[in-house]
């Protein structure tokens, strides 16, 4: 008999948040909204660049089975929506590339940036820094800092997140540099623009799970579901997907 191997990925991508209200807004609007996220790009950017820390518009998900989400819930929030991976592929949502600064991957990205910038300076190419930054938008340090709750926090192994990202088309967007991302009004203006054009829609059928913390949260979510513009059968099916993390974490 073959030995069974536990899954380390899932057919579901999870989007976690610290607030029940955020889950409610996502369900009501039936869409995920990208916002600018402060990112540590130091492994992929030369020291003198203003983009070592940058703001990138995105929606983040993680490819983690329910049996392995305990630490993720404690770090990213007790609430979330699990959406079918098949839905994600329609919006070109992709796994993040993790690399250490000393890795050949990071070195090649840094070298490519230098080549592109030199060709642009010499008038030999119309490709500019924005093109390579759009690639780096899907890259993340293997270990490093992550911006949470208003400050940079060290998290040892970022690849444990198994992150997937939706990043809007870069052509008419800016990736904000380390000075821009400290200007709250400037970031808010860009957030408003992204929200107006680049939200990604889903249907209730695309949802596999709705994760809440406790029974009180579950009642609030189910009350909301029964006010939504859905058929009675759709409401019942969606309500059946609510999971209480306080309960199921005891069993995994």
Q: What is the pLDDT of residues 11-49, one digit of tens each?
A: 899 999 999 999 999 999 999 999 999 999 999 988 888
Dump pLDDT digits (tens) for 206-229.
999 999 999 999 999 999 999 999
Q: Is the dihedral of CA 228, 231, 235, 237 positive or negative?
A: negative
Q: And the tokens for 177?
A: 């540099």
Q: What is the mean pLDDT of the chain?
A: 87
From CA 44, how far away is CA 48, in angstroms rounded? 12
The predicted structure's pLDDT at residue 5: 46
- What pTM was computed for the model? 0.87
Q: Partners of 165 in the beta sheet?
A: 60, 94
Dump pLDDT digits (tens) for 75-127.
788 899 999 999 998 998 999 999 999 999 999 988 888 887 777 777 766 66
Alpha helices in the chain (DSSP H): 20-29, 70-76, 85-90, 104-121, 129-136, 184-198, 215-225, 232-239, 245-248
From CA 153, how far away is CA 147, in angstroms rounded? 6
Q: Are 113 and 45 in contact (CB under 8 A)?
A: yes
User: What number is the average pLDDT over the span 157-161?
Assistant: 86
Band (pLDDT 50/70/90 cuts) for residue 50 is: confident
The predicted structure's pLDDT at residue 252: 64
């Amino acid at each position: 008999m073959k030995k069974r191997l536990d899954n380390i990925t899932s057919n579901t991508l999870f989007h976690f948040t610290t607030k029940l209200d955020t889950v409610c807004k996502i369900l009501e609007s039936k869409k995920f909204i990208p916002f600018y996220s402060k990112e540590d790009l130091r492994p992929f950017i030369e020291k003198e660049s203003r983009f070592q820390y940058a703001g990138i518009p995105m929606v983040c998900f993680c490819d983690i089975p329910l049996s392995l989400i305990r630490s993720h819930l404690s770090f990213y929030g007790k609430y979330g929506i699990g959406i079918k991976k098949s839905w994600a592929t329609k919006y070109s949502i992709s796994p993040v590339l993790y690399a250490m600064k000393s890795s050949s991957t990071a070195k090649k990205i840094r070298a490519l940036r230098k080549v592109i910038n030199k060709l642009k300076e010499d008038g030999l190419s119309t490709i500019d820094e924005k093109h390579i930054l759009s690639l780096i938008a899907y890259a993340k340090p293997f270990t490093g800092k992550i911006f949470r709750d208003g400050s940079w926090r060290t998290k040892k192994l970022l690849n444990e997140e198994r992150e997937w990202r939706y990043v809007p088309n870069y052509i008419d967007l800016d990736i904000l540099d380390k000075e821009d991302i400290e200007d709250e009004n400037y970031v808010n203006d860009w957030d408003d623009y992204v929200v107006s054009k680049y939200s990604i829609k889903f249907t209730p059928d695309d949802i596999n799970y709705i994760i809440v913390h406790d029974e009180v949260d579950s009642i609030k979510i189910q009350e909301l579901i029964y006010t939504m513009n859905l058929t009675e059968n759709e409401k019942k099916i969606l309500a059946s997907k609510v999971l209480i993390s306080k309960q199921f974490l005891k069993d995994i």
